[in-house]
Amino acid sequence: MKKDYKFNLHIKDINNNIKDFIKYSTDSYFYINEKNEIESCETKDFIKKEFNGKILFRVRKSKKNGDYEIINPVNIFSEKKSENIDILENKCWWEISNDEGYVLNQGDILKFGNKIYEIIHLETFNENKYIDLNNKIGSIFDIILNKNRYMLEEFEKDKILPKKYNADNPKVNLCNCENEFIFFKDLKNKIKVSCEEKNDCITYYSDNLFCEKCGVQYPYKFIINENDNEKFFCLMDIKPPLNYKNYIILEYLNNKSDIKRKIIHVININDVEEKIIGRNIICFDGKNKNRISKDHSSLILDKGKFIIKNISKNGTFVLIKNGFKITENEINFKAGSFNISANIE
């Protein structure tokens, strides 16, 4: 029986060895084997295998339009925990071009070299618009109240309430320690938040946003749902200066080498100039600077949209959420440590 189509994958591994895969399938999964090589299997055989997070990507035929596309194989945001940041490394990243660039959206996750950031807010100037950032911004890994991790201690009506308790000061557990509840305001008073401004960018950071007992990093922001109403609580208050009219807010995600530090950048963008993003801005932790170019990406504001372009040999990538179409023209993406190009014959 003739297969529906033929697609080519040109893969460059961590040793710069190039290997061509030619597969004839309408739906396949690609994963890393024990030899750190890419293998594949058809979807019908997928449930028979165990991958332990080593799945890279999936090729499937879109039910909507019949096009063949490359997607991330699972819903990587189904559990919004910091542990999932490690999983991001083995997912599918589209390489942003030098010419056309990419239009940024809130919630996009970007990779500059080996550093991963999430866009938690985009703002363009409007003198008649009031922005309450405390009720706007928040990382997908922080903002959702995960009932298995973030616990709210409820006070029974027939008991005397602690003096510190009120609707704005709940008693919460934000780490992995059992029965370790603390009043929100007491915890916030313990958190030391610093900020530095350089190159038209202000960086907020905290070195003690973590539990000293279990080592888990607290969310800098979380939501508690009470009577179907959402209430925001911030351990770090992010307040861009008044002269920042057009800006993006980036949260540094992959600080697993220094989990004690939370870093958030607010980058101001002039509406008539190109903003260069490089290691002077997005390498605040001072580690692995060799992977971040001095001039890594350029950012411009065009008709109310933020457009980012790559200008580094190490590449600028955006996490693929909804898949992208495979065409006759070669497309480039990254999965794990592999640089891959794909096209259809």
The domain of 213 spans 102-141+192-319
Q: Tell whether 222 and 269 lie within a shared domain.
A: yes
Return the closest-CA partner of residue 186 out of 148, 224, 233, 139.
233
Q: Tell whether 129 and 68 lie within a shared domain.
A: no
Q: Tell whether 308 and 329 lie within a shared domain.
A: no
pLDDT for the residue numbered 80: 40
pLDDT band at 127 (very low <50, low <70, confident <90, very high): low
pLDDT for the residue numbered 215: 82
pLDDT for the residue numbered 204: 93
Q: Tell whether 284 and 219 lie within a shared domain.
A: yes
Contact criterion met (CB below 8 Å) for 237 and 134: yes
Contact criterion met (CB below 8 Å) for 154 and 144: no
CA distances from 119 to 79, 138, 148, 209 (A): 19, 9, 26, 20
pLDDT for the residue numbered 2: 39
Between 104 and 149, name the one with better pLDDT. 104
Q: Tell whether 335 and 310 lie within a shared domain.
A: no
Q: Tell whether 340 and 232 lie within a shared domain.
A: no
Between 248 and 279, name the one with better pLDDT. 248
| Chain mean position to CA 188 | 25
Strand partners, 306: 301
Buried-state track 236-265, b at ≥16 Cβ within 10 A, e below 16: bebebeeebbbbbbbbbbebeeeeebbbbb
Q: Mind listing the pLDDT tens digit for each residue in 261-317?
A: 888 999 999 877 789 998 888 876 555 555 788 889 999 998 889 999 999 988 899
> Can you tell me which residue has the tokens 């033929």?
6
Between 13 and 37, name the one with better pLDDT. 37
Q: Mind listing the pLDDT tens digit for each residue in 327-341?
A: 888 888 888 888 888
Q: Tell whether 314 and 329 lie within a shared domain.
A: no
**Residue 317 CB burial class (10 angstroms; 0-12, 13-18, ≥19):** buried
Q: Tell whether 241 and 116 lie within a shared domain.
A: yes
pLDDT band at 14 (very low <50, low <70, confident <90, very high): low
Q: Tell whether 126 and 65 lie within a shared domain.
A: no
pLDDT for the residue numbered 142: 64
pLDDT band at 11 (very low <50, low <70, confident <90, very high): confident
The tally of CA atoms less than 13 A away on the side-chain side of residue 240 is 26
pLDDT for the residue numbered 320: 84
Q: Tell whether 283 and 328 lie within a shared domain.
A: no
Percent of the chain with pLDDT over 70: 77
Distance CA 65, CA 304 (A): 30
Q: Tell whether 229 and 130 lie within a shared domain.
A: yes
Q: Mind listing the pLDDT tens digit for each residue in 76-104?
A: 444 444 455 667 777 888 889 888 899 99
- Give the chain's mean pLDDT: 79
Between 14 and 89, name the one with better pLDDT. 89
- The model's pTM is 0.82
Total of domains in the chain: 2
pLDDT for the residue numbered 54: 72
pLDDT for the residue numbered 128: 62
